[in-house]
Chains A and B, each alone.
Chain A
Amino acid sequence: MKKIIATQSNLSVMLIFIAVVLSAPLWLTPIGANYPDLLQKFAIFGIFAIGFNILFGLTGYLSFGHAVFLGIGSYAAVWSFKLLTMNVVPAIIFGIVLSGLFAAVIGFISLRRSGIYFSILTLAFAQMSYNLAYSVLTPITNGETGLQLRIHDPRVLDAAAAEQSGIPSTTLFGLSMSGYSGFYFCAVVLILAFYVSLKIFRSPFGLKLQAIKSNQTRMKYTGFNTRPYLLTAFIISGMYAGLAGALMAVTDPLAGAERMQWTASGEVVLMTILGGAGTLIGPLLGVGIIKYFENIFSALNEDALHTIFNFLPEFLENFLVLITHPFVGEGWHLTLGALFMIIVIFLPGGVMEGINRVSNFVKGKYFSDDSGPDSKAESRLQPGDAGGE
């Protein structure tokens, strides 16, 4: 599948992608995922994961604190709703710019180190921001309650509009951003974000980032200063996260500090790896899988399970319910953790590698050395990746 994408022109990839995304409400209906909340989540986390993939997938730098930019984007957007206007455009711009600035600072410091030290540095920054947002920065972040809209917020630009009763909703020049219109807005942004990421993947810049991943030392010895490229990738990826955070605020104008916690950073890592890091659509697949199953599984309880297995003989039904029960509902994270372990152990390239293997197998080329140097499995064996062995 990756091969198929790799050989298509930008235009045809984009046309297919646009068609798939915009028709999502249609083809998601049969599997019961067609409602705006979930669709918006797909699009927003999709943007987040695409951005994370630009850093981790291309350069191999594993950031464990990426959610901090998500939180900053959310806070910036909500403040824009509070102070300026309920229009979403300024909110999104503020979200992107502010998280880009933070990414520049954090990236400048963190990128002085690589490997696990980089992960720890980003983690440290994320935890600092999270702790501060919870405690001292309460005037800005509203601490544990989370930042919310109030009726008496100034909203300078909206002041001319008629007096409103209640808290206004977010709009795009008058079009309310709730329900399907909210999803389509997110979908359009997702398409733009995907286009940018496609361009980056296929640009000389993207190639340089991949070269850094496969052997940074060699890049340096050829007289190539890698730092500015890494920093650019980090900032772009931070801005994607800020955009995702701002969109979260657009669909639900509330920003809480828990969005910055390291578990949230861990989630995007999980999504990207699950789908396939370093591939164009892998992260989107990962987001789809995790968010879909989170939605389905966490809603299941024992009664629902009994209904599902109803067609079986009773003892078998009870037995299956007994086995599956710990994995659904409250225990959904158990499934996620186990699934994640299985993926890392058996399919380090994620779902995309699985699809590749299957498609190669179908074509009867499973044992031939056709995968090429860009395949995940081989690039992992490069000496530069082995770390301090």
Chain B
Amino acid sequence: MDAFVLQILNGLDKGSAYALIALGLTLVFGTLGVVNFAHGALFMLGAFCAVSVQKILTLEQVVLDPDQLTAWGTPMEIRTPYIEAWLGDYGAVLIDYSVPFSILFAIPFMLLIGIAMERGLIRHFYKRPHADQILVTFGLAIVVQEIVKAQFGANPIPQPAPDVVAGSADIGLLLGFAEGMVVYPWWRIVFLFFSASILASVFAFLRFTTFGMVVRAGMADRETVGLLGIDIDRRFTIVFGLAAVVAGLAGVMYTPILSPDYHMGMDFLVLSFVVVVVGGMGSLEGAVAAGLLLGILQSFASMNEIKSILPGIDQIIIYLIAVVVLLVRPRGLLGREGVMED
């Protein structure tokens, strides 16, 4: 039972990352009708927002202290981050909280990137076949990935979580298990709540605001909404920006769990695409449900008990499910009729 709960928790954090990326993919697909292979790159860019912010915050000033000598007899170098020198303890706190802090930068940055991408490139591909859209965004993803690689190097760059949540929580105690049975890192709990609130706010935004209503109407029938005198293209551009922000925020908050490197976007993209297809093309709820479901199933499949019966199942479970779902329920779990069907 305790192992069961633990695997569900483990699956939820990966699953919610899938869900956030898949949500953005589905939003873009549902509104603009574009299959965006560069969405993983947006996730990766978000993660590197966190890296850059941390790099900037920890820029150091070097002061030579003549009173203290190193082992070589030269004056010792005292390195303090500028931010600490200027702001004192507040600076130290800021460095400690660099990952959550970088959200403030990631939101405008990702919004800008998303809108620039839509206006500059994607806009010209509305009328082109899906194969062309896949190919051009695939090319874009390679370009973004290589630029990041040139800038930050090929190795993963670990990002520490704030000290307060660096340890692990004994969740089992709350649920009535013995001590030390269900131990779960605090940061993953933070990530879970964060992604839940992002998901909730995106859904609330689409459901309860006028803007969201127009967007949903546009998803259902773009032409009619346009005929009613609403500039639907502009709203869809903003939706693209929104999807980019969602992916970027997922990237920022995921960095303490997985050290970002330049190809993390591609790794997540392939899986998120599978998630979108399993959930049903064009269904936002389906994307989220399938993301969480596949995350949990993947973590169950990596349990030793299951691996001993079906060796290698943890490597292929997601793809296997995708194959089965596509063959049994071609529209995916919650797919709408008439989306991507010819």
A interface residues (Cβ-Cβ under 8 A, vs B): 60, 62, 109, 112-117, 119-121, 123-125, 127-128, 131-132, 134-137, 216-217, 262-263, 266, 269, 273, 326, 330-331, 333-334, 336-338, 340-341, 344-345, 348, 380, 384-389
Contacts and interface: CB of A to CB of B under 8 A. Distances in A.
Given A338-B139, A340-B135, 12 more contacts: A60-B131, A117-B277, A120-B273, A120-B277, A128-B315, A136-B311, A216-B342, A262-B270, A326-B150, A340-B142, A384-B342, A389-B33
A123 B273 CA distance: 10
Interface in B283-305: none
For chain B, give the interface size range.
35 or more
B342 A387 contact: yes
Contacts of A116: 35, 130, 134, 277, 281, 340
B339 A334 contact: no
B338 interface: yes
A211 to B, nearest CB: 15
A115 B143 contact: no
27 contacts: A62-B134, A113-B330, A115-B340, A116-B130, A116-B281, A116-B340, A123-B273, A123-B274, A127-B270, A127-B319, A131-B312, A131-B319, A132-B316, A135-B315, A216-B342, A334-B142, A337-B142, A337-B146, A344-B135, A344-B139, A348-B132, A385-B129, A386-B342, A387-B129, A387-B130, A387-B342, A388-B342
A273 B249 CA distance: 34
Contacts of B134: 62, 116, 119
B181 interface: no
Contacts of B146: 331, 333-334, 337
A135 B316 CA distance: 10
Nearest to B331: A117
Interface string B121-156: 100100111111011101111110111011000000
B165 interface: no
A60 B132 CA distance: 12
Which of B124, B128, B281, B339 lies at the interface centre, i.e. has the most chain A CB atoms within 10 A of its CB?
A: B128
Which of A121, A262, A269 lies at the interface centre, i.e. has the most chain B CB atoms within 10 A of its CB?
A: A121
B76 interface: no
B33 A120 contact: no
Contacts of A136: 311-312, 315
B323 interface: yes
Contacts of B135: 269, 273, 340, 344
B113 interface: no
Interface in B316-342: 316, 319-320, 322-323, 326-327, 330, 338-342
Contacts, number: 132
A136 B317 CA distance: 13
Contacts of A336: 142
A385 B135 CA distance: 15
Contacts of A262: 270
B342 to A, nearest CB: 6
A87 B323 CA distance: 39
A318 to B, nearest CB: 18
B312 A132 contact: yes
A387 B340 contact: yes
A115 B326 CA distance: 12
A114 B330 CA distance: 10
Given A120-B274, A123-B270, A134 B315 contact: yes
Contacts of B312: 131-132, 135-137
A386 B129 contact: yes
Contact of B138 (A114, A266, A338): A266
Contacts of B338: 388
The 7 A-B pairs of least Cβ separation, nearest first, read: A337-B142, A136-B312, A131-B315, A334-B146, A341-B139, A124-B319, A340-B139
A9 to B, nearest CB: 32
A132 B22 CA distance: 25
A25 to B, nearest CB: 32
Contacts of A388: 33, 130, 338-342
Contacts of A334: 142-143, 146-147, 150
A120 B321 CA distance: 12
Contacts of A217: 342
A387 B147 CA distance: 33
A52 to B, nearest CB: 13
